[in-house]
Amino acid sequence: MAEKYQNYINGEWCDAGSGETFENRNPANWNEVVGIFPKSDGKDVERAVSAARKAWDAWRLMPAPERGMMLKRTGDIMTARKEELARLMTREMGKVLTETRGDVQEGIDTAYYAATETRRLFGHTAPSELANKMNISFRFPVGVAGIITPWNFPMAIPTWKIFPALACGNTVVFKPASDTPATATKLVEILLEAGVPAGVLNLVHGGGSKVGTAIVEHPQVDLISFTGSSAVGRTINSRAGRDLKRVSLELGDKNAQIVMDDANLELALDGVLWGAFGTTGQRCTATSRLILHEKVYDKFMDMLAESAAGLRLGDGLKSTTDVGPVINEGARAKIHEYVEIGKNEGARLVVGGEPANDGDLAKGWFYKPTVFGEVQPGMRIEQEEIFGPVLSVIKVNDFDEAVRVLNDTEYGLSSSIYTQDVNRAFRAMRDIQTGITYINGPTIGAEAHMPFGGTKHTGNGHREGGWEVYDFYTETKVVYVDFSGKLQRAQIDVEY
């Protein structure tokens, strides 16, 4: 019997007002129903926003370190329940257990970082240009935060948003992806157990078009933090922009790894296998392009083809599995469509290129790790986000061409270069136009205390993680204190 889950609104667990539900199935075995969830709509969102608005006054006035202690307790509970959460996540979205443990760990790291940040919500003091006057800035919460998340990091991404939002004194209406609602519900349960009061955190399950749109368009929601596809991000930005809402967007990507002729090839191979096929290629930072120097192209392609063909597909709960399923039927169909596009564009299919259906794999959404060689810059498989285990390999003549090819996309999240030449490494740090660059490491591996986000169409300039996200969740208030006992006029009474 599948577990039945609920929304959490105004301090109560409840069904959708309509009574409707949806199922969530295991992508490694579609016969297994992981849970049944409320299919909510705008009316449920209305109740959630009104609760969040009412709870805001008390929450914003609570001393920030007291809020921080709740986040610390959240980290402690997550630590104690790490294995159970990771197993549920693997059943819900397919990635292998070592990776789902890492996803939970990222949430734990984010909790402890957020807890300490509540003692560091610094403002500034600055000298005044006038005598007997002081200038101070403070940071205050913004209000109600609408938080909309994707399925590929079902724990880490919600924590990147919810923890700093709460730490800063905002209340939250949270809509997780409908492919990963169980992990999201566990996160909310843990925050409540850690002491977050009624109304401060509200969870509304359901689809993007009804629940997501209602959150984005609600006049009492002050800011939106969204991670997901570029198409949805654009829609959200234009809708929220009409009401002049603050919006943070983390969107699609086309990350690349460069391997120069002086690289340690074994190391670069480990990097690209992990970058391209970890999480079945469904990470925002996944390596979807490999840019190879011509001098190492043939050798590296042989090494890559052999290793990629040897990766073992299967249920992520099994220790023998290297690569789990993709998230759902639609995703697998899209991946296969891109493989056909690549073949028609004239790229050479080296490995994979088809669904995997043998034995137990027949019950899940599996796709063979796929490598295309002889990919030309500008091909659709080189430019468009596929979001699956498909790697496009491009041959270049030198470092300048490698950087040019890497930069020539509309996205700019992550990048990597393998080289032993320190001068090249520093030029890469300067000239590659992405929010994150790894030197001698794969395109994946962000740490919770560093800012995370991309340039160009990967987002709209905000960052998650680290200290920068705290700016997004706070308003700056400047206070001038004049203790001169007379009218003093800035820019008029003093001229230098």
The one catalytic residue in 250, 382, 385, 464 is 250
Q: Under the criterion CB under 6 A, does residue 177 sit at the interface with ligand NAD? A: yes
Q: How far apart are CA 71 and CA 272, in angstroms?
A: 35
Closest distance to ligand NAD from the beta carbon of 236 (Å): 5
Give whichever of 175 and 368 is closer to ligand NAD, judged by the CB atom.
175
Q: Under the criterion CB under 6 A, does residue 227 sit at the interface with ligand NAD? A: yes
Residues 375-394, one symbol each (x = binds ligand NAD by CB under 6 A, - = not), give ----------x-x-------
| Of the candidate residues 68, 94, 102, 150, the single one contacting ligand NAD (CB under 6 A) | 150
Restricted to residues 282-311, the positions that interact with ligand NAD (CB under 6 A) are 284
- Among the residue ranges 79-87, 225-233, 375-383, 468-476, the one whose residues contact ligand NAD (CB under 6 A): 225-233
Closest distance to ligand NAD from the beta carbon of 462 (Å): 10
Alpha helices in 42-96 (DSSP H): 42-61, 64-80, 82-93
Q: How far apart are CA 131 and CA 488, in angstroms?
A: 9
Give whichever of 99 and 250 is closer to ligand NAD, judged by the CB atom.
250
Q: Under the criterion CB under 6 A, does residue 229 sit at the interface with ligand NAD? A: yes
Pair type for strands 414-418 and 255-259: parallel
Interior angle at CA 291, CA 381 and CA 339, nearest 5: 20
Q: Under the criterion CB under 6 A, does residue 173 sit at the interface with ligand NAD? A: no
Q: Under the criterion CB under 6 A, does residue 44 sit at the interface with ligand NAD? A: no
- Among the residue ranges 81-89, 129-137, 170-178, 287-295, the one whose residues contact ligand NAD (CB under 6 A): 170-178
Closest distance to ligand NAD from the beta carbon of 411 (Å): 9
Q: How far apart are CA 267 and CA 364, in angstroms?
A: 32
* Inter-residue contact 99 to 325 (CB < 8 Å): no
Q: Under the criterion CB under 6 A, does residue 460 sit at the interface with ligand NAD? A: no
Q: Under the criterion CB under 6 A, does residue 458 sit at the interface with ligand NAD? A: yes
| Of the candidate residues 236, 296, 323, 428, the single one contacting ligand NAD (CB under 6 A) | 236
Q: Under the criterion CB under 6 A, does residue 455 sit at the interface with ligand NAD? A: no
Interface size with ligand NAD, residues (CB under 6 A): 30
**Which one-letter DSSP state was computed for residue 153?**
S
* Inter-residue contact 361 to 249 (CB < 8 Å): no
Q: How far apart are CA 493 and CA 496, in angstroms?
A: 10
Q: Under the criterion CB under 6 A, does residue 325 sit at the interface with ligand NAD? A: no
Active site residue 250: yes
Active site residue 284: yes
Give whichever of 251 and 290 is closer to ligand NAD, judged by the CB atom.
251
Give whichever of 54 and 239 is closer to ligand NAD, judged by the CB atom.
239
The one catalytic residue in 106, 168, 284, 382 is 284
Q: How far apart are CA 152 and CA 368, in angstroms?
A: 19
| Of the candidate residues 26, 50, 110, 152, the single one contacting ligand NAD (CB under 6 A) | 152
Q: Under the criterion CB under 6 A, does residue 228 sit at the interface with ligand NAD? A: yes
Closest CA to 465 of 107, 154, 68: 107
Kindly provide the b/e burial profile for residues 334-364, where b requires at least 16 CB atoms within 10 angstroms of the residue's own CB.
ebbebbeebeeeebeebbbbebbeeeebebb
Q: Return the C-alpha torsion angle 151, 152, 154, 157, nearest 10.
A: -110
* Inter-residue contact 257 to 268 (CB < 8 Å): yes
Closest distance to ligand NAD from the beta carbon of 78 (Å): 20
Residues 406-435, one symbol each (x = binds ligand NAD by CB under 6 A, - = not), give -------x----------------------
Q: How far apart are CA 254 and CA 381, in angstroms?
A: 10
- Judged by DSSP in three states, 229 sits in coil
Kindly provide the b/e burial profile for residues 172-187, where b requires at least 16 CB atoms within 10 angstroms of the residue's own CB.
bbbbbbbbbbbbbbbb
- Judged by DSSP in three states, 223 sits in strand
Closest distance to ligand NAD from the beta carbon of 111 (Å): 19
Closest distance to ligand NAD from the beta carbon of 452 (Å): 7
Q: Under the criterion CB under 6 A, does residue 170 sit at the interface with ligand NAD? A: no
- Among the residue ranges 34-42, 129-137, 171-179, 309-317, the one whose residues contact ligand NAD (CB under 6 A): 171-179
Residue at token pair 């296998």? 273
Q: Return the C-alpha torsion angle 174, 178, 183, 184, nearest 10.
A: 0
DSSP codes joined into one string, 335-381? HHHHHHHHHHHTPEEEE--SB--SGGGGGS--B--EEEESPPTT-HH
- Among the residue ranges 60-68, 174-182, 264-272, 318-326, the one whose residues contact ligand NAD (CB under 6 A): 174-182
Closest distance to ligand NAD from the beta carbon of 486 (Å): 53
Q: How far apart are CA 157 and CA 276, in angstroms?
A: 20
- Judged by DSSP in three states, 485 sits in coil
| Of the candidate residues 213, 383, 440, 488, the single one contacting ligand NAD (CB under 6 A) | 213
Q: Under the criterion CB under 6 A, does residue 99 sit at the interface with ligand NAD? A: no
Phi, psi at 281, each rounded to 5°: 75, 15
| Of the candidate residues 44, 99, 250, 382, the single one contacting ligand NAD (CB under 6 A) | 250
- Among the residue ranges 97-105, 136-144, 202-210, 261-269, the one whose residues contact ligand NAD (CB under 6 A): 202-210
| Contacts to ligand NAD by CB under 6 A | 148-152, 175, 177-178, 207-209, 212-213, 216, 227-229, 232, 235-236, 250-253, 284, 385, 387, 413, 454, 458
Among all residues, which ones are annotated catalytic?
250, 284
